[in-house]
Amino acid sequence: LKDTRARRLFRRASSDPFFPYTFLGRNFRALALDARWKKLPARLRCSRFQQIIQQRTAFFLEVRMWQSKKAAVLSRSSRPLPSRDDSDISYCTNCGGCCEIASGFPDFPEETELPVAWKTLFGEGLGEGHRFCPFLFEVERSGKSLCAIHPWRSFPCRAFEEEECTFLKQDGYVETVKNSRDLPAPVKSLFRRLRRKRRP
Ligand code: SF4
């Protein structure tokens, strides 16, 4: 990242235990396999990579801020903190595959407390080159997904059930992207630095 502020924000976001490091890596692998993407001039690809990291970082920090304010409000009120209602989704292994979508149909329950702009963002996505949901987080770089807005998520997210999950898991493309080693050079060095930083 060239810009100092962008570097600082990225450092802050990537040191957060919920930063979607693995999904960002897969995002870049998917782009590297994309025929249209491959045709772009190298300089343009590089600036798009930077743009993707900056947009992802900025929105990640915005959601983290909102979450901490929300937790503070809920803890002051008598309302319980919303928790994951996963009693009926025992088949879910938190692989994040179902959330690797650029955007979804923004149909949210009426009682959802999300900012209106975020619902629009869910519908439109973070922008060109983004391959996973703006609200997809990761648990401590384990590859395990976490929905940042699970209690307030959209109807289409709720409608994704075991049948769709099984279908997705059998999709060869998803596996190809997961197993691809095809990370673009600038991203590879950025990720190498992050991995080094993580070691004690
Ligand atoms: S809102 Fe949550 S459940 Fe829905 S696609 Fe995004 S991360 Fe997945």
pLDDT of 136-195, one tens digit each? 999 998 889 999 998 889 999 998 888 888 888 887 777 777 776 666 666 777 767 666
Nearest ligand 1 atom, CA 136: 7
Ligand 1, from 84, 108, 157: best to mutate by most atoms within 8 Å of Cβ?
157
What lies within 8 Å, CB to CB, of 29 at 6+ separation is 177, 178, 180, 182, 183
Q: Which pLDDT score is estimated for 81?
A: 44
| Average confidence score pLDDT of the chain | 84
Q: Please give the distance, rounded to the nearest whole angstrom, from the Cα atom of residue 153 to the centre of ligand 1.
A: 6
Q: Alpha-carbon distance 52 to 2, whole Å?
A: 13
Taking residue 19's Cβ as centre, other Cβ atoms within 10 Å add up to: 23
Q: Please give the distance, rounded to the nearest whole angstrom, from the Cα atom of residue 194 to the centre of ligand 1.
A: 25
User: What letter would DSSP give residue 150?
Assistant: G
List all residues whose CB is within 6 A of at least one atom of ligand 1.
Answer: 99, 101, 104, 133, 135-136, 147, 149, 153, 157
Residue nearest to atom 4 of ligand 1 (CA): 157
Q: Please give the distance, rounded to the nearest whole angstrom, from the Cα atom of residue 42 to the centre of ligand 1.
A: 32
Q: Which pLDDT score is estimated for 82?
A: 43
Q: Alpha-carbon distance 89 to 80, whole Å?
A: 22
Q: pTM for the full model?
A: 0.85
Q: Which pLDDT score is estimated for 76?
A: 66
**Pair 125, 27: CB distance under 8 Å:** no
In degrees, rounded to 5, the angle at the alpha carbon of residue 197 between the alpha carbons of residues 191 and 200 is 140
Q: Is the dihedral of CA 179, 181, 184, 185 positive or negative?
A: positive
Nearest ligand 1 atom, CA 160: 3
Q: Which pLDDT score is estimated for 119?
A: 96
Nearest ligand 1 atom, CA 134: 6
Residue nearest to atom 2 of ligand 1 (CA): 147
Nearest ligand 1 atom, CA 150: 2
Residue nearest to atom 1 of ligand 1 (CA): 153
Q: Please give the distance, rounded to the nearest whole angstrom, from the Cα atom of residue 4 to the centre of ligand 1.
A: 31
List of the chain residues with pLDDT < 50: 80-84, 87, 200
